DNA sequence: TGAAAAGCCTGAAGTGGCTTCAGGGTCAAG
DNA sequence: CTTGACCCTGAAGCCACTTCAGGCTTTTCA
């Protein structure tokens, strides 16, 4: 299987696949006589594994750890547990932040319902006011 | 006011201030004979404005737009409204994504309550399974 | 047979929003 | 006169890719 087919069958861009190889997340593939990469079903699985982890918001470094743990013949999965717990905490924190942000943005948007002139626009007035009293620091 | 004092009084790192100047978000300051930057209260305000916008998750490009709109003598604030509406939609979408992610992560985490061996670890088994059936694509 | 088109290759640079680093110059206090 | 705090510049590093420039290989079709 050439790189184009791998890309089509996984929905991952060709350049990204080559990038993962450079980053040692995908094993080095065989080559044809014309120097084209040749992939096996094992590569397909590994690539899907990487993309699934990425869809769970893991960094490539974390994916590397998971691959290592997965390939360890009889290691403990403490690492995996810790990684997931950390990730869950991160996501929870980010959601809380974004909820606050939603409130702030909606409140701000409420200050200018009809397109007015800049000099009387409630949004810009509030942006300036907030900046002056340094709301962001609280 | 020198750059150190500006940094202290706004909580923005010196390097970041210089970066904003390079990016033309802060007006070029005066210089002393010894080539030190000299800031005015106007710079303090502008810097706080930038940071407040950044705390609302705006990109520097968006901040640039807001500064332009703010400084336009009598422009309409349609741009500002559109920008905020877009931002609100973005944040809403991101929150929804993260909620789904929370579910997935918690479910995954539930698969391995006590530190077991990798070869029987429910988490790794599920990561592999999900990758195989390509859950991420749905 | 020959040329175009599709597919692949490499290495380098660009993205955003900074941070870090190397190697200096300036200025006030002791 | 030297120490230390403060400042300067330009370049490189971070992450996870993406884009670009320039060229090779293979297939297709006239």
Q: pLDDT per residue over A98-129, tens digit each?
A: 898 888 888 888 877 766 666 667 777 777 77
Residue A41 touches partner B, C-beta closer than 8 Å: no
Q: pLDDT per residue over A73-85, tens digit each?
A: 666 677 788 888 9
User: Which positions ≥6 away from A20 have C-beta within 8 Å?
Assistant: A26, A47, A50
Q: pLDDT per residue over A22-45, tens digit each?
A: 999 999 999 999 999 999 999 999
Question: Is B12 or A118 the better-scoring residue by pLDDT?
Answer: B12
B3 CA, C17 C1': Å apart: 20
* Residue B62 · residue B53 · CB < 8 Å: yes
List chain A residues with CB under 8 Å of B66: 124, 127
Q: Which two tokens stand for residue A66?
A: 């998971």
Q: DSSP letters along B76-89, please?
A: BSHHHHHHHHHHHH
Instruction: Return the number of other C-beta atoms located less than 10 Å from residue A64's C-beta.
Output: 16
Which residues 65-104 of A are in CB contact (within 8 Å) with B? Answer: 66, 69-70, 72-78, 80-81, 84-85, 87-88, 91-92, 94-95, 98-99, 101-102, 104
pTM for the whole structure: 0.78
A54, closest nucleotide (Cα–C1'): D16
Task: Please give the DSSP secondary-structure letter assigned to residue B25.
Answer: S
* Residue A29 · residue A67 · CB < 8 Å: no
The pLDDT of A4-28, averaged and rounded, is 95
* Residue A107 · residue A117 · CB < 8 Å: no
Task: Please give the DSSP secondary-structure letter assigned to residue A30.
Answer: E
Confidence of residue A135 (pLDDT cuts 50, 70, 90): very low
Task: Measure CB to CB from residue B55 to each of A56, A75, A136 and give the nearest one.
Answer: A136
The pLDDT of B2-26, averaged and rounded, is 95
Q: Determine the pLDDT at residue A44.
A: 94
Q: Determine the pLDDT at residue B135.
A: 41
Strand C closer than 7 A to residue B34 Cβ: yes
Determine, for residues B75 and A11 on separate chains, whether the beta-carbon distance falls below 8 Å: no
Determine, for residues A131 and B45 on separate chains, whether the beta-carbon distance falls below 8 Å: yes
User: Which positions ≥6 away from A29 have C-beta within 8 Å?
Assistant: A21, A37, A38, A39, A40, A43
Determine, for residues B95 and A91 on separate chains, whether the beta-carbon distance falls below 8 Å: no
Strand C closer than 7 A to residue A23 Cβ: no
């Amino acid at each position: 299987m050439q790189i184009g087919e791998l890309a089509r069958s996984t929905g991952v861009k060709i350049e990204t696949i080559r990038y993962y190889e450079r980053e040692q997340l995908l094993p080095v593939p065989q080559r044809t006589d014309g120097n084209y990469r040749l992939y096996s079903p094992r590569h397909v699985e590994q690539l899907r594994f990487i993309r699934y982890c990425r869809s769970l918001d893991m960094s490539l470094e974390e994916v590397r750890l998971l691959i290592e743990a997965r390939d360890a013949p009889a290691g403990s999965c403490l690492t995996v547990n810790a990684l997931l717990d950390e990730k869950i905490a991160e996501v929870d924190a980010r959601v809380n932040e974004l909820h606050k942000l939603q409130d702030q943005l909606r409140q701000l948007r409420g200050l200018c319902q009809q397109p007015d002139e800049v000099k009387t626009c409630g949004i810009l007035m509030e942006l300036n006011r907030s900046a002056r009293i340094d709301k962001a620091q609280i």
